[in-house]
Amino acid sequence: MLEKTYRPEEVEARQYERWEASGAFSARPEQDLPRYVVMMPPPNVTGNLHIGHALDNTIQDLLIRYHRMRGYDTLWQPGTDHAGIATQMVVERQLAAQGTSRSNLGREQFQEKIWEWKAESGGTIIRQLRRLGASADWPRERFTMDAGLSDAVLKVFVKLYKDGLIYRDKRLVNWDPKLQTAISDLEVQQTEVNGHLWHFKYPIEGEAGRYIVVATTRPETMLGDTGVAVHPDDARYQYLIGKHAVLPLVGRRLPIVADDYADPEAGSGAVKMTPAHDFNDFEVGKRRDLEVINIFDSYARLNDNVPEAYRGLDRYEARERVVADLEAEGLLEKVEDHLHKVPHGDRSNVAIEPWLTDQWYCDAKTLAQPCIEAVEQGKTRIVPKQWENTYFEWMRNIQPWCISRQLWWGHQIPAWYGPDGEIFVEESEEQALAAAEAHYGKATELTRDEDVLDTWFSSGLWPFSTLGWPSEDPTVKRDLALYYPGSVLVTGFDILFFWVARMMMLGVHFMGEVPFRDVAIHGLVRDASGAKMSKSKGNSMDPLEIIDAYGCDAVRYTLLALAVPGRDLKLDPARMEGYRNFCTKLWNAARFCEMNGARLPADYDPAACKQQVNRWIVGKVAEAGRNLDTAMQGYRFDEAASTLYHFTWHLFCDWYIEFAKPLLQEEGEAAEEVRATMGWALKSLLCLLHPLAPFITEELWEKLGYDGEGLLISTQVPDFPESLIDAEAAAEMDWVLRLISEVRTVRAEMNVPPAAKIDLRLREASATTVERLERQKEVIQRLARLSSLDLLADETPQGAVQFVIDEAVGLLPLAEVIDISAEKARLEKEIAKAESEIGKLDKKLSNEQFLAKAPESVVEENKSRRAEEQETRDKLAAALERLEAV
RNA sequence: GGGCGCGUAGCUCAGCGGGAGAGCACUGCCUUCACACGGCAGGGGUCGCUGGUUCAAUCCCAGCCGCGCCCACCA
């Protein structure tokens, strides 16, 4: 016999091990089945599972299990990402704690350290995903720096280079002075800062006493100024165009140029130009042929291109000095407070510096074009659809993607330089040397580019690199044919650009086909009050801890129930408690079934049930199954969760089991049919629930001795054809349910002491209305007896309900426990409510336009509602009169 | 500056042209032989505000007020 409560801690590890050992997680390429493929977003190899991973992977596991149980060959491709900057930072911090640094170790030793660190803590997150119940194809696990995936990176880089889609360029990049690397636009976060706007007077050359005023938020950059721009139509400055200003502190002649970029409305209308340290100024500088003078070193300290007094100063020290010196010279006109956005590195959290360097770029614009079309044509669907706009917006305005990083951890760029700077991009050093020999006519020594690629470059290949591309191996070719493109990519919107867009670009370019059919976007997990979870705020939830506390199924169910597509979810422990209770409820329902000998005969046919309750619950199971299918197709995991929750608790437990109790007391055919149907319903329910709550359902399946090797390993969900839904049984049962509720209410209000349990014995189902009415009468009679009320046998069912209520109310004065004045107040309130309802309906029904234009059915509905309300009102009024008479 | 989204019961959120819903919380009764992580019954909402379209608006449209997010080169 089952225990009284479900104990997840005793079940989860055991069931998981059994699943994994069975091999049932694995794809079955050799079988001729429809395919369902999900590529797991690879977490950082050295990371820990956080709540966002838990959501993302629970959804994927739900989809995978759901499809696996419906006859698909499923591939859930797992793996991890080397996460360049993030991992390098972790190891660097460790080195710092040990009193050393990467520069002390040198490149090779440092890389060894990282590999050691990976070997040590690399498997953590994968193990943690197993705690979540993730049924991924673990033997296929990949790492972005595996040999195979690295081959893919090489091949892609070389091909794109040779196609002219990757190139080297000298331009301003987002330079992170702390991490000492370039970063892409996406890795830059704009942070609002309370700063100042300084207005400086630049003397006009040869016109003593005349100045042009420029404003800046970054005074230190003035040391690199090479011009001043004004708007061509700005009357105030016409006479200055073509003349020069003299840069204070430096003495450089600054051409005053006309350019549309200068906004006459902003500041003084004149703007200083620092082409080496500002993206806009760089563009203006190119147009107006201004000098580009770099004044910073890689740590954002002033270099030798500034007057000696400032050399070596940090940018912020320099700012103070420059302002002080200009003020001393009387050239500071004014200082205003100024709130503005300052770009910061998302990893380092220091202000990034636009800095002139040589970097590798990817021509994202060209790659993006077919991806825009692919989504427009519906080859890939983004769910919810509103995100398509965001995708289009970004893809249409995409900038060149800076793909080189000055790091040591990652895929080193396969580019070699000859002595004269000639670039050789090849898949190996040998090929590069060969190319160099061909180029120079003799063997020539080459130096390899030190930079590595942006992490997202290799993860952009994930949908096909994990399948073995570019290997020519027949197995790989087969897998690519079967498992590319994937069915759906599940992800939060935070990496829509970082990752999804890159996979689209690289997938379409190299495979000639989009990497996935659907992109299912979910929100971010926030705490109960809506704040972002973060360690520093102390509001983060460790998924493993909450799994320990509530059980994995409860955590999964909570996440799914909250997962409205594209919306953030606020995670409240109270919710998890609720779903933990749900698990217990399910467990106990199964326990009841077990205790009462619910069993499923081999020849059981749900469509052949005779009894009404059984026909009804069969239909409700089928309905739940069909609703689940609809929800899953629309990625409405919240609806999937709620439909099964409602069925389990409020239909199966609250009603069906209660109806079954009296029936089970009797021996014979009726009881047998209930046992069989109950067994069938429970078994079906376990099948339906398994993808959401895999552990408890599997455990029950095993404990109840259902067939096969278990839910995950060998069970297919049966079809639930619409024909199983018996509309007549459903309508009757709805009526019975309502009736029982009403009688219960009356009894509660009358304070009728609890008699025996409501005893419903619904006799064999019958098709004819006469018989149906007879049965209902019997139900009413029983209820009435139980309520100590006599009931006229020839009342019609609807009248009977009213009669029961009337009688109950009529008995009120006799029940001493009832407070008469309170009861009067209640009745008066009810009457007022009914009257207001009648008033509204009257108004509606006297509206000619309504009668003329509204559909007939709506009019009829309103009329009958009017009649019902009137009847209710009259009965209530009569009851009130009787009460007053007492 | 541009874009997206949100304001529905005390809380968290579904719904979305024709009688306001769920979970939790709350109140009352019930330790009845699956379950007190339970059962039954109940209270609670001018569906942000103002206009418009419509026979009919929580739902569609416009404006406004609050809140959040994303993107953007404004000194």
d(CA A96, CA A215): 41
The pLDDT of residue A204 is above 70: yes
From the number of C-beta atoms within 10 Å of its C-beta (0-12, 13-18, 19+), residue A708 rates as: exposed
Q: Is the CB of A393 under 7 A from strand B?
A: yes
Query: Which residue, among A36, A48, A106, A26, has the nearest Cα to A544 in the 3D structure?
Result: A48
Of all residues in chain A, what percent carry a pLDDT higher than 70? 89
Q: Is the CB of A141 under 7 A from strand B?
A: no
Please tell me whether any atom of strand B lies within 7 Å of the Cβ of A263: yes
Whole-number Å distance, CA A817 to C1' B42?
18
Amino acid at A70: R
For residues A61 and A560, is the Cβ–Cβ distance under 8 A? no
Which nucleotide does the CA of A577 lie closest to, via C1'? B37
How sure is the predictor about A493, in pLDDT bands with cuts at 50, 70 and 90?
A: confident
CA angle A21, A27, A33 (to 5 degrees): 130
Q: What is the C-alpha to C-alpha distance for residues A663 and A671, in angstroms, rounded to an integer?
A: 6
**Which residue blocks in A198-313 are alpha helix, DSSP H?**
279-288
pLDDT one-digit tens code per residue, A732-742: 777 777 777 76
Q: How far is the CA of A122 from the C1' of B53 (A)?
A: 61
What is the pLDDT at residue A250? 84
Q: Tell me, in Å, how far CA of A269 is from C1' of B14? A: 53
Q: Which of residues 201-240 of A touch strand B (CB under 7 A)?
A: 214-218, 229
Which pLDDT score, from 0 to 100, does residue A225 have? 92
Helices (H) and strands (E) in chain A, counts: 31, 25
Determine the distance between A836 (CA) and B46 (C1') in angstroms. 14
Strand partners, A492: A522
pLDDT of res. A605: 93
Nucleic strand B contacts from chain A, 155-174, CB < 7 Å: none
For the CA of A636 and the C1' of B46, the distance in angstroms is: 32
Please say if the pLDDT value at position A104 is more than 70.
yes
Task: Answer whether A69's CB lies under 8 Å from A688's CB.
Answer: no
Looking at chain A, how many residues does it have? Answer: 886
Rounded to whole angstroms, the distance from the CA of residue A265 to the C1' of nucleotide B1 is 15
Report d(CA A708, CA A724) in Å as an integer: 25
Q: Beta carbon of A654 within 7 Å of strand B?
A: yes
- Our measurement of CA A637 to C1' B3, in angstroms, reads 27
* Phi and psi angles of residue A196, each rounded to the nearest 5 degrees, phi first: -130, 160
Look at residue A413 in the predicted model and tell me its pLDDT: 95
Q: Are residues A364 and A401 in contact, defined by beta-carbon separation less than 8 angstroms? A: yes
Nucleotide nearest to A218 (CA to C1'): B75
Work out if A870's Cβ lies within 7 angstroms of strand B: no
Mean pLDDT of chain A: 85
Please give the DSSP secondary-structure letter assigned to residue A43: P
Can you give the distance from the CA of residue A33 to the C1' of nucleotide B50 in angstroms?
Answer: 59
- From the CA of A600 to the C1' of B31: give the distance in Å: 33
User: Protein footprint on strand B: which nucleotides are under 7 Å from a CB?
Assistant: 3-6, 11-15, 18-19, 22-25, 28, 30, 32, 34-42, 54-56, 70-75
- What percent of chain A has pLDDT above 90? 50
3-state secondary structure of A59: helix
- DSSP label at A501? I
Sign of the alpha-carbon torsion through A593, A637, A137, A11: negative
Is the C-beta of residue A394 closer than 7 Å to nucleic acid chain B?
Answer: yes
Work out if A850's Cβ lies within 7 angstroms of strand B: yes
DSSP A542-596: -HHHHHHHH-HHHHHHHHHHH--TT--EE--HHHHHHHHHHHHHHHHHHHHHHHT
In angstroms, how far is B41 C1' from A649 CA? Answer: 18
Q: For residue A182, which of A413, A501, A452, A496 has the smallest C-alpha distance?
A: A452
Task: Write the pLDDT tens digit of every residue in A556-594.
Answer: 999 999 998 888 888 888 889 999 999 999 999 999 999
Instruction: Give the span between the Cα atoms of A410 and A91, in whole angstroms.
Output: 14
Tell me, rounded to whole angstroms, the distance of Cα A619 from its chain centroid.
33
User: A548 with A516: CB under 8 angstroms?
Assistant: no
Distance CA A81, CA A75 (A): 19
pLDDT digits (tens, 9 = 90+) for A29-57: 999 999 999 999 999 888 888 888 999 99
pLDDT of residue A70: 95
Which nucleotide has the least CA–C1' distance to A566? Answer: B5
State the Cα–Cα distance between residues A349 and A352, nearest whole angstrom: 8
Whether nucleic acid strand B comes within 7 Å of the CB of A705, the answer is: no
- Tokens 């997150």 found at: A125
SS (H, E, C) A391-424: HHHHHHCCCCEECEECCCCCCECCEEECCCCCEE
Q: What is the CA radius of gyration of chain A?
A: 37
Residues 427-466 of A with CB under 7 A from strand B: none
- Report if CB A642 to strand B is under 7 Å: yes
CA of A386 to C1' of B64 (A): 25
Residue A364 has phi, psi (to 5 degrees) of -65, -30
Name the band, by pLDDT with cuts 50, 70 and 90, for residue A528.
low
Token couple for A655: 């009603």
Cβ of A198 near strand B (under 7 Å)? The reply is: no
Closest to A672 in 3D by CA, of A740, A585, A736, A608: A608
What is the complex's ipTM, to 2 decimals?
0.94
| A584: CB within 7 A of chain B nucleic strand | yes
Whole-angstrom Cα distance, residue A236 to residue A229?
Answer: 13
Predicted pLDDT of residue A803 = 44
Q: How far is the CA of A7 from the C1' of B14 (A)?
A: 31
Rounded CA–C1' distance between A536 and B70, in angstroms = 24
Which window residues (707-746, chain A) lie with Cβ within 7 Å of strand B?
A: 741, 744-745
Is the minimum distance from the CB of A265 to strand B below 7 Å?
yes
Mean pLDDT of A601-610: 89
Q: Provide, in whole angstroms, the distance separating residue A435's CA from nucleotide B68's C1'.
A: 55
Nucleotide nearest to A580 (CA to C1'): B37
Please write the tens of the pLDDT for every residue from A403-460: 999 999 999 999 999 999 999 999 999 999 999 999 999 988 999 999 999 999 999 9
How far in angstroms lies nucleotide B19's C1' from the CA of residue A629? Answer: 29
Task: Kindly write down the DSSP assignment for every residue of A822-886, as one continuous string.
Answer: HHHHHHHHHHHHHHHHHHHHHHHHT-HHHHHHS-HHHHHHHHHHHHHHHHHHHHHHHHHHHHHH-
Predicted confidence at residue A195, as pLDDT, reads 85
pLDDT band at A607 (very low <50, low <70, confident <90, very high): very high
A489 and A59 in contact (C-beta within 8 Å)?
no
Nucleic strand B within 7 A of Cβ A662? no
- Res A749: pLDDT: 60
- Distance from residue A259 (CA) to nucleotide B69 (C1'), in Å? 35
Convert the pLDDT of each residue in A786-795 to its tens digit.
333 333 333 3
A174 torsion bin: left (phi>0), alpha (psi -120 to 50), beta (else)? beta
- Residue A646 (CA) to nucleotide B13 (C1'), in angstroms, measures 16
pLDDT of residue A494: 85
Please report which confidence band the pLDDT of residue A145 belongs to, taking 50, 70 and 90 as the band edges: very high
- For residue A632, what are its two tokens? 């899953």
A564 touches strand B (CB under 7 A): yes
Is the distance between the Cβ of A792 and the closest atom of strand B smaller than 7 Å? no
